[in-house]
Structure 1
Amino acid sequence: MINDKKNEIFRQLVENKFQIYNSLFMSLPYDKMTNIGMLLPFLYEESKDGYDKALSPEEIINSFFKNHTDLESEDQKLELLFKIVQYIERQVVLFDSIEDAAFQKLHSDADSGTVLNLYERALQDHRLTDVRKKLKDFSVKIVFTAHPTQFYPNAVQRIIHDLRDAIQNDSVTNIDVLLQQLGKTPFVNKERPTPLDEAMSIMYYLRYVYYQSIGDLYKKLKETFGTDDFHLHPDIIKLGFWPGGDRDGNPFVTADVTLEVAKELRSSILKCYYGHLKNLRRRLSFRGVSEVLEDLSHQLYQAIFQKDFEISETEIIAKIDQAEYILITEHQSLFRELLDDYRDRVKIFGTHFATLDIRQDSRVHQKIVDSIYNHLFKNEEDSELSNQQKFESLLNSDNHVKPDDFEDEIVKDTLQNILNVTKIQQQNGERGMHRYIISNSDEVKDVMNVLALFKISGYQNDAIKMDIVPLFETMEGLDNAEAVMRALYQLPFYQAHLNMRGNQQYIMLGFSDGTKDGGYLKANWEIYRAKERLTAIAKEFGIKVIFFDGRGGPPARGGGKTHDFYASQGKTIANNELELTIQGQTITSVFGNKDQAKYNFEQLLTAGIENDVFENSKKDLTEKERHLIDNLAELSFEKYSELKAHPMFVPYLQEMSTLEYYGKTNIGSRPSKRGADGELKFEDLRAIPFVGSWSQLKQNVPGFYGFGTALKILKDEGRFDEVKFLYQHSDFFKTLVLNSMMSMNKTYFPLTYYMKENKKFGEFWNVLFDEFNLSKELMLELTGFKVLMQEEPLNRKSVLIREKIVLPLLSIQQYALMQIQKNPDNKAVYEKLVIRSLFGNINASRNSA
């Protein structure tokens, strides 16, 4: 009944409204876009019917021109295709806005995974005391990254927010005006955004979404679970921030940029406090209170706009406490709850707003350590020293180095960045920056090198107020994780450092690169097992371990439905904090407005609490179940490894996909691959362009490849009933299956049927297609579903509508790629068409987190 009701609401508020507003949209007189809206349905029908008949995109586009236009010149045809691309981009924004506007009506406080649902369940099971106990020592943190999976210019973001509000209010006049504005507003950045541009873009969400949504959720938690003797800690919901701090493979992130982003974060939260206080003073107008708050307002203003004026979190709270004392003693505590709410925000966000992390690759650190060692110890006999001996020498040295001691820019900048940590902590508070993340951590030296860099920069041991965070992301790194951490926990210097950090260790796991390296099933299982081993060893050494998951948005990047994933973790995995990265379409589709953000924060929070408080046999794996998943993961990995080793694997992506064009889209500051220009190697590929290219082909290979083969082998061995039992009794395995099915639901091989006849790549294409068909067939049999995503009708509907919107765009993109191969002399204009079509496809890719 509930699903039927939601289906009807979705039909009325999403499907019907899209039809209505799209018809309005189709008739708008955009510059040179008249009649595009009338032609688009014809291109859709040509595409849909053409692919059903196994026609190529080239045949479909040519048929469209012949049957529905009188255009003859190539220039005229290209101009029309560019206009269609622009039009579809805006259709995607319209649908996003309509779907977001319906969010409140499609979700309620009583839904599974909400705070109210958790409270009622705890009350019914007599577990309120246990929930409160868990709330004292648990938190949720989302960390914003600038990874370019979606990047609307700021002007378009603001239109989206206004359009959503207008749709919620059914204001046809405002919708009409905003659609006109949308039609005339550029979607493309003329230049690649800088890291500061990326940071400012995400700070928009901090100021206008998270300040309110997190404040409201904290207040809701207090009201629901608070008592006279129980008080929530303000760090229960936290934000992290990578733009401006993540220099892994991004030469444009410098020490100066990091300082500037830290300053902007501080300024942004003070502006929130200043605006909030302005509203607060309208109520708290009483003698004594008014004067204290006015003084605080002046101080905040000075801290925002005067370069040398600073104000700390402690000083702000002291003023609030002073106002509260007068309010209680002289004004009967009138509006005290408003003052409480304001103070809670200050405790939550401090003067940092979000924690700015530093990240760099371990290989870069090693080169820097080598340079510093050679500078300090110019002894040829030491040339054969091990990496361990080098970091030990630096840790024990009384010498210090300065950035200007070196000519190499990466050495200078890294040392300057380390020196700046103290300055950032002084201005933003220690919560403003306290983590240094090391990509590709495979060895002990990868962690110790960072501590050596702090020590050689002049930091005393007790002044290194930073958590050093290894990031294990490849299959090799995950295999080594236990040995690395055991060795670190036994090193006296590291033991002393951990003791100073409260015996707390952050460990990051790379789902995106793990999936790229090992395939979806293998990566998720290896990360699960690595967490179990790392939990056990941390317990052995008395360390509180906190796992930080580098999850991408879609399953092909190691993502998928986050609540289901975290609710499926068993008791063998430490559950001290739930922390994950979000970016691009995950920000806008899951945390993009106040209602969505609040709801999805609740989902994460309750997922973590439920794991500890409520018994559920489906979360704990038996030895037999473990053996079975291990068996499936290995078989899947073997199949995926065969694919990676195929001689056509990288050439196929280079020549037949959009991989080469990701770096030209100007949607992110970071290059699309590690390393210098030269021959493209699999290991140098970034996970986002890698997965994005499969997505643009509508093949989504990393999200399912190998899963079908693994199931088929066990079925042939007569063990399929065991797998069915596993699916029915393991939440973890079920989540992996459903997430993989989500990837397949967004797959459309008819788009590339023409490739099976390609002399160079036909055989490789058929390998992909066969595995897709096998995976789909066996997963439907395993689940008993008739269609993919059968248990998620709303998301399934949303995906189908989006796929319908972008199908003409995909036809245009594939047509352009075919023309590039066919006519290299005229490739420039078709390359531009490929790049322009990337945006609509990227931005339409939601329903993934």
Structure 2
Amino acid sequence: MDTVSYGRELRQRERLLSLLLSRILKRQLPPAVFTALGELRRGFTRLRDQDDPRRRQVLRALIERLDPESITQIVRAAGVYFGLLYIAEEFVALRRRRHAVRAHAHMWPGSFHDTLWGLKEAGVGAAEALALISRLRFMPVITAHPSEAKRRTIKGALRNIFLSVEALDDARLRGSFRAEAVRRLASQIQILWKTDEVRATQLDVRDELRAGLSYFPLSLFSATVQVYRNLRRAVRDVYGEQAAAGLEVSRLLRFGSWIGGDRDGHPGVTAEVTDLAWQMQARVALEEYLRRLEQLSDQLSYSIRMCRPSAAFLASLEEDARYAALRFPAQPHRYQQEPYRRKLAVMCYRVKRNLDAVKAAIDGAPLEGEELGYESAEGLLRDLYLIRDSLIQHGDEDVANAELTDLIHLVETFGFHLLQLDVRQESAVHTRACGEILRAALGVDYVALDETGRLALLGELVGRPDALAFDPETLSQQTQETLRVFRVIAHNRRALGPACFGRYVISMTHGASHVMEVMLLAALAGLAGRVGERWFCHLGASPLFETIDDLNRVEQVLEQLYALPAYRHLIAAFGEAQEVMLGYSDSCKDGGILASAWSLYQAQKRILAVSERHGIPCRLFHGRGGTLGRGGGPTHEAILAQPPGTVHGELKLTEQGEVLFYKYNNMETAVYELTLGITGVLKASSHLVGGGRTDREAYAAAMDEIARAGEQAYRTLTEGTPGFLDYFYEATPVQEIGLLNIGSRPPHRRQGDRSRASVRAISWVFAWAQSRHTLPAWYGIGSALAAFRGDDPARLALLRQMYRDWPFFRTLLSNAQMALAKADFGIAREYAQLCTDPALGECVYTLIAAEYARAVEEVLRVSDSTALLADNPELALSLSQRRQYLDPLNHVQTVLLAKFRADAREDSPWLEPLLRSINAIAAGMRNTG
């Protein structure tokens, strides 16, 4: 399906969904409101084609006359349209891939077949390819942040509509059958219209846990096994049956989470909440295993007279006698002639006991009596392997390789813990805790020590925490809570297995002592230390470097850390790679997109280089957000844009905000997204089997100069422009975003503080997107490129060569194009006029708008394009479709902001439509947080 066919197909699907929605709205809305909706949509569409100040004034007056209830209905209609348009786009993209599979034997860009054929053509043989795949691990980490505005109920309604749209693609549907399918689709749209998209109450962490975990039964369990099947088929098709037989896939995917573990600036995440997160995760995994075991029991109805199970399997039935007596108390010979059913019934009983124990822990009422479940996921796996091997032994390999193997892969991937939960806390919390403990135990003023003194003391004590005798009750509540967290980690590692815990992430890491403080606190909980001369360590600490300054001194911090004998003993005892996390959000908010992107790029190379010098394996953890200003954008391209040689088979990255919905609400799209992630890691790691690219020195030198100029331009605006922060708070809805029940974490670190440091990077980006500035993703690029090229044709030629040949630079400017295309400075001016000081608003707006024009001009010049997104027509078409509702929504929101702020009442009637407008614009803009 080419671009023209894609556009035709999309318009056809969009017209159907739009027509069905219009019919519903005509029936459901008051005639005056329905008419106003049409006038606004058509009027602002004409204004985009040709500006007309008089018509704009008429439309503005129409909005001003509308009452709160009428505006609410108009905003809701736009939000529903955006949801339907996304479904149309998602379905057409899926159809496009299916067409490619039929036409080219599973070949679509980024597919397993496409990637493996590329390796084979590059001279990578079957043995090398299998060795490379065996090293791969793609690790998405789900997080909860105040940028995802969709309720879980809305996601479910949209999933049902997607399935109804997909049903219409069945060529067998004709006549009355097709008419009935269209009626079903219309009814699903009407249900969506009648479902409230705004939450009535503020989310807490438990709500976020339920929301994040809901994606696994909805799509990710099925997507995971489908990804494994697809990879095996691709290896067989490209490298042959023998290679496929030797393929090991269960290491390929691991999922992590921060929900319930991320306590940085979040008072709602306590030790008890973290413990609850592990229990809720375990429940989801066990429920899925129980469901699949019951299905297998229905399928494997083999009679003992028709097959001969293996001796090991039959022996296991004898060992199960104790459980069988409890499972079949009234029918001791149940399934006696159907050995696999008998085995599976016992396995179901044991998993049910595990599940009952987890549910009881969630309810705060531990089970009474003997524990009869599996001690670990390995016990369940042993039984599944017994069944598989027995089936294969008596000639039923095809049966063994179907649903049974799917379940095996799920248990190998998810264990009893489902997700590897990371815990995150800010470094200052650990410094205070260590200061209190060392003062109480030794009378030492730890906080007054310099870095050298701190490291010497921590290095000595981490191996003998028993030397620290103190009364915990004398410590502050925060320090007691910090110690409880480490005890919870230790408890759940024992209860759910070591894999339940990911890493302890230390935000705002400024020195090596911040890592060693965590190791000392871990030692106090029995997670690290020394017995005699033998060191042990059950906790990996991940320093998180977030600001530009921290990224620039990452090498110095790691050098100090690696040179410390105690830490080298600990990392060796831990037995896994050192993980270093990179913060995209705060570095961009701190120094702008160019300085952030280039500092992150260089930091990665320095991190890997210093780790290699010290002989310490290292894995990078990318703290990407959903939006382009926070490291977002297409995952596959982002992975390939990493510095050459820095991806060593493993890649871990956060999946934040609305990204979870767009990637994982539908199983079919989840398969696609996970595949792109894995093949991105595969391509980026191909240097491990020979060859590999290197960066050109001329490109790096140019980027040094460009990044410095970009950072200077950004800091001149954000730090050197009088009243800039007042403009941000008044010309965007950042304060009102805090009133929307879309996250449990406060949008500010310090309430009432209007500084840039206080506002969270997520809210920073979200607010600029709402007001159509999209500033964090592009500001400074225009000035920097113009300053670098000057009037020198050779420099422009170098920039164009960098754009063509350097994945990092091309991805940077491609993402900037997306952000520039989503911005609209005609609309942004309406927000600027909300400033209480009109002169200030006009001054700051003029500065930003001028840089926007410069950025568009320079990006088009370097990319040698005539229009933004010329090389991405699908996205350009999507944006043009969305604008028919997005433009009116922004004008509506500016009116609502003015009315709400003038009203200055908590119970203002303008608050509800305003909050709904934030939801709707987020849906229309996408990549908002």
Instruction: With the length of structure 2 as denominator, give the TM-score of the two structures.
Output: 0.85
User: Which residue is equivalent to 1:623?
Assistant: 697
Please say which of residues 336-345 and 433-442 is displaced more in the overlay.
336-345
Any idea what the Cα deviations from partners look like across 1:408-429, whole Å, max 9, x if unmatched? 3322221111001122112322
- Aligned equivalent of 2:605: 532
Q: Which amino acid aligns with 1:222?
A: R
Candidates 406, 409, 423, aligned match of 2:491: 423
Q: State yes or no: 1:544 paired with 2:620.
A: no
Residue number in structure 1 paired with 2:326: none
Deviation at 1:653, TM superposition (A): 1.2
Matched, 1:336 2:400: yes
Could you tell me whether the CA contact under 8 Å between 2:261 and 2:269 is conserved in 1? yes
Question: 2:748·2:760 contact (CA, 8 Å) conserved in 1?
Answer: yes
Match of 2:423 in 1: 358
Contact 1:149 1:585 in 2 (8 A): yes
1:324 matches 2:388: yes
Q: Bigger CA drift: 470-479 or 232-241?
A: 232-241
Secondary structure of the structure 2 residue equivalent to 1:250:
coil
Contact 2:147/2:928 (<8 A) preserved: no
Which residue of the other structure, out of 678, 693, 705, is the alignment partner of 2:752? 678
Q: Counterparts of 1:57 and 1:840 in 2: how far apart (Å)? A: 24
Aligned residue for 1:663? 738
Residue of structure 1 equivalent to 2:722? 647
Q: How does 1:52-201 map to 2 (within 5 A)?
A: 53=51, 59=57, 62-64=60-62, 77-107=67-97, 108=100, 109-129=106-126, 130-170=128-168, 171-201=181-211
- C-alpha separation in 2, matches of 1:334 and 1:288: 19
C-alpha distance in 1 between matches for 2:647 and 2:447: 42
Q: Give the drift of 1:751.
A: 0.9
- The separation in 2 between residues aligned to 1:349 and 1:828, in whole angstroms, is 48
The 1-side partners of 2:543 and 2:447 are apart by 27
Quickly say closer, same or farther: Cα 1:399–1:844, change in 2 above 3 A: farther
Once the 2 structures are TM-superposed, how far is the Cα of residue 617 of structure 1 from its aligned partner?
Answer: 10
Match of 1:278?
294
CA deviation after TM superposition for structure 1 residue 240, in Å: 0.7
Question: Which blocks of at least 5 consecutive residues in structure 1 are unaligned?
Answer: none
Q: CA deviation at 1:821?
A: 5.3
Q: Of residues 520, 524, 539 in structure 2, which corresponds to 1:452?
A: 520
* Residue in structure 2 matched with residue 374 of structure 1 by the alignment: 439
The one-letter amino acid of 1:516's match is K
Structure showing greater Rg: 2
1:123: how far off?
3.3
| Counterpart residue identity of residue 146, structure 1 | A
TM-score scaled to structure 1, two decimals?
0.93
Q: Please state whether the residue corresponding to 1:664 is helix, strand or coil.
A: coil
Q: Which residue number in structure 1 is paired with residue 768 of structure 2?
A: 694
Distance 2:165 2:831 in 1: 42
1:730 match = 806
Q: Are the equivalent residues in 2 in contact too, given 1:24–1:176 (CA < 8 A)?
A: no
Per-residue deviation at 1:61? 5.2
- Say whether the 8 Å CA contact 2:391–2:397 is kept in structure 1: yes
Contact kept, 8 Å, 1:780 with 1:788, in 2: the verdict is: yes
Compute the displacement of 1:684 (Å).
1.6
1:234: Cα distance to partner?
1.6
Cα distance in 1, alignment partners of residues 615 and 54 from structure 2? 62
Q: What is the distance in 1 between the residues matched to 2:627 and 2:574?
A: 34
Give the structure 1 partner of residue 324 of structure 2: none
Partner of 1:810: 890
C-alpha distance in structure 2 between counterparts of 1:410 and 1:382, whole Å: 17
Letter in 2 for 1:803: R
Distance in 2 (alpha carbons) for counterparts of 1:654 and 1:378: 46
Give deviations 1:426-466, integer Å, cap 9, x for gaps: 23221111310011111111111111111233444255411
Residue type of the alignment partner of 1:249: G
Deviates more, 1:324-333 or 1:342-351: 324-333
CA distance 1:181–1:588, change in 2 (3 Å)? same
> Which amino acid in 1 is paired with 2:657?
G
Who is 2:565 aligned against? 492
Shift in alpha-carbon separation, 1:706–1:463, aligned structure 2, 3 A: same
Contact 1:288-1:323 within 8 A present in 2 as well: no
> Once the two structures are superposed, what CA deviation does each residue of 1:783-805 show, in whole Å capped at 9, x if it has no partner?
12222111111122112222322
Matched, 1:302 2:353: yes
- In 2, Cα distance between the equivalents of 1:683 and 1:591? 32
- The answer on whether the counterparts of 1:131 and 1:609 sit within 8 Å (CA) in structure 2 is no
SS of 1:683 mapped into structure 2: coil
Alignment of 1:388-399 (within 5 A): 388-389=453-454, 391-392=458-459, 394-395=461-462, 396-399=464-467
Is 1:4 the equivalent of 2:4? yes
| Matched AA of 1:219 | R
Question: In 2, are the aligned partners of 1:698 and 1:748 still within 8 Å (CA)?
Answer: yes
Indicate how the Cα distance of structure 1 residues 394 and 196 shifts in structure 2: closer, same or farther if over 3 A, else same. Answer: farther
SS in 1 for 2:505: strand
The worse-fitting range, judged by mean Cα deviation, of 172-181 and 755-764 is 755-764
Cα contact 1:9–1:106 (8 A) shared by 2: no
3-state DSSP of counterpart to 1:357: strand
Q: In 2, Cα distance between the equivalents of 1:813 and 1:3? A: 34
How much identity, in percent, do the aligned residues show?
23
Query: 1: distance between equivalents of 2:55 and 2:609?
Result: 54
- For residues 32-88 of structure 1, the C-alpha deviation after alignment (integer angstroms, 9 at most, x for no partner) is x5664443121123445567647599945542258xxxx6xxxx6222112222222
Deviation string, structure 1 residues 794-821 (Cα, Å, up to 9, x no partner): 1221122223222222111111223345
Query: Structure 1, residues 226-267: CA drift from partner, whole Å, max 9, x if none?
Result: 646733252211111111011111110111111111001111
User: Deviation of residue 595 (structure 1)?
Assistant: 1.3
Distance 2:724 2:397 in 1: 69
Asked whether the 8 Å contact 2:425–2:506 carries over to 1, the reply is yes
After superposition, the Cα gap between the structure-2 partners of 1:501 and 1:183, relative to the gap in structure 1 and judged at 3 Å, is same
- Which stretch has the larger CA shift, 753-762 or 624-633? 753-762
Q: Distance in 2 between matches of 1:418 and 1:649?
A: 42
Letter in 1 for 2:561: L
Letter in 2 for 1:474: T
Q: Could you list the per-position Cα deviations for residues 193-237 of structure 1 after superposition, in whole angstroms to 9, with x for gaps in the alignment?
A: 111110111111022211110111112223332646733252211
Where 2:620 maps in the other structure, the secondary structure is strand
Separation in 1, partners of 2:383, 2:32: 61
Alignment check: 8 A CA contact 1:674 1:684 kept:
yes
Contact 2:649–2:685 under 8 Å retained in 1: no
Of the structure 1 ranges 612-621 and 786-795, higher mean CA displacement relative to structure 2 is found in 612-621
Match of 1:707 among 763, 781, 791: 781
CA distance in 2, matches of 1:208, 1:78: 36
Tell me the residue number matched to 1:288: 339
> Residue 509 of structure 2: which of 425, 441, 457 is its match?
441
Q: Which runs of 5+ in 2 are unaligned?
A: 101-105, 169-180, 237-241, 303-337, 361-366, 530-534
Cα distance in 1, alignment partners of residues 51 and 119 from structure 2: 56
Q: Distance in 1 between matches of 2:505 and 2:629?
A: 23
Looking at structure 2, the residues matched to 623 and 792 of structure 1 have their Cα atoms a distance apart, in angstroms, of 30
In the alignment, residue 385 of structure 1 is paired with which amino acid?
L
How far is 1:822 from its partner? 5.2
Deviating more after overlay: 811-820 vs 660-669: 811-820
Give yes or no for contact 2:585–2:761 (8 Å, CA) kept in 1: yes
Rounded to whole Å, the distance in 1 between the matches of 2:220 and 2:831 is 46
Indicate if the aligned counterparts of 1:698 and 1:749 stay in contact, CA closer than 8 A.
yes
Alpha-carbon distance between aligned partners in 2 of 1:847 and 1:149, rounded to the nearest angstrom: 9
Task: Give the alignment partner of residue 266 of structure 2, picking from 228, 231, 250.
Answer: 250
SS at match of 2:544: strand
2:459–2:566 Cα contact (<8 Å) kept? no
SS in 2 for 1:143: strand
Partner-residue secondary structure (3-state), 1:828? coil
**How many angstroms apart in 1 are the aligned matches of 2:253 and 2:743?**
28
Q: How many residues align?
A: 836
Match of 2:843 among 763, 767, 771: 763
Q: Which residue matches 2:40? A: 43
Alpha-carbon spacing, 1:35–1:761, altered in 2? closer, same or farther (3 Å): closer
Is the 8 Å Cα contact of residues 366 and 449 (structure 1) preserved in structure 2?
yes
